Amino acid sequence: MASIFLQLAKRVLSEEKKPLSANEIWEIASLKGYDKQLGSSGKTPSATLGAMLYVDIRDNTDSLFVSIGVRPKRFSLKSLPAITDKQAIDLPEAVTKKFEFLEKDLHPFLVYYGFYYLKSYIKTIHHNKSGKREFGEWVHPDLVGCYYPYSNWENEVVDVSSALGNPAVKLYSFEMKRELRIGNLREAFFQAVSNSSWANEGYLVASYIDSSDELHSELARLSASFGIGVISLDIKDPDSTVILFPAKSRDYIDWETVNKLSGMNSDFSEFLKRVKNDISSHEVRKEMYDKVYEKEVLVKSLEK
């Protein structure tokens, strides 16, 4: 399937002869009917296409493609005339423009991605609700989430799984940053390690990730060493958010850390109670977690 997506991208880029985002490639392919060669393409084919292009450029030294800019990332062919990052329309804004939003403004974007792509329910953990400030920001995750398998399981399967002590839920922990650059990478990453290693899967999330080879190489090394995944949050098109490096999934929870967090922060304690109740009832109360907004509402929320 990956090769078919890449062949489609090559065909469109060869004909258009200019850098295009994954969304633009897919829109052109759809207009020309090229998408029909894929058969079933899933709910968000442009996001799948973007992820496959990124991985091919990152992992394949003989890749036909290059990436240009960051917001949105555009793709071109190596065989086409070279276009530098500075010539990319979006790059000057990404480099010189100050962020006009806060980290907390990004939370709904992750909630959207978590709900539709991780099949999880996410809750913000407000740090100002903690009673033990001496631990500081190196203990609290910014958001936590839970995946429940119940929508696809028969009741008797859920009952047996729970009785055996393995209800198959998965707990997520997320550390949110507006940007990741070489200058703040190690601090941000090890904050994520400190705050998220207790969960089944922990992630460092950012809306802007510098495209330099140095940063991505170091991210890959750190992710492989510590098991923390990295999510690139797309605030222009939430469906194009992508996991750059998957988290190492753990079968166990660090309950000592969970107990400490529960005693420190009322949001985290309420999250645990909510998970317990939803497991017991086999019915998830969606309204008790962060609200899932439509993507048009999310994009408009950051427009200035």
Domain hosting 10: range is 2-94
The number of distinct structural domains making up the chain is 2
Q: Please indicate, yes or no, whether residues 216 and 111 belong to a single structural domain of this protein.
A: yes
pLDDT at 155: 66
Rounded to whole angstroms, the Cα distance separating 123 from 54 reads: 29
Ranges of the chain with pLDDT below 70: 1-2, 39-44, 69-72, 82-99, 129-139, 150-167, 304
pLDDT at 67: 85
Secondary structure percentages of the chain, helix, strand, coil, to 5 = 50, 15, 30
Amino acid at 277: N
Task: Please give the sequence-ordered ranges of beta strands (E in DSSP) within the chain, or none if there are none.
Answer: 20-21, 65-68, 74-77, 120-124, 143-147, 170-180, 201-209, 229-232, 242-245
pLDDT at 107: 96
pLDDT at 214: 83
Domain membership flag for residue 192: yes
List the beta bridge partners of residue 202.
173
Interval 23-57: pLDDT, tens? 888 888 887 888 777 765 566 677 788 888 888 88
Domain membership flag for residue 303: no
Domain membership flag for residue 302: no
- Predicted structure pTM score: 0.65
Q: Please indicate, yes or no, whether residues 184 and 273 belong to a single structural domain of this protein.
A: yes
Domain membership flag for residue 169: yes
> Among 94, 117, 136, where does a domain finish?
94
pLDDT at 290: 93
Interval 149-187: pLDDT, tens? 765 666 666 666 665 555 578 899 999 999 998 888 888
Q: Please indicate, yes or no, whether residues 90 and 112 belong to a single structural domain of this protein.
A: no
Cα Rg, the chain, nearest whole Å: 21
Domain membership flag for residue 218: yes
Helix axes 2-16, 45-59, angle to 10 degrees: 90
pLDDT at 91: 38
pLDDT at 200: 93
Secondary structure element (H or E) that encloses residue 3, with its range: helix 2-16
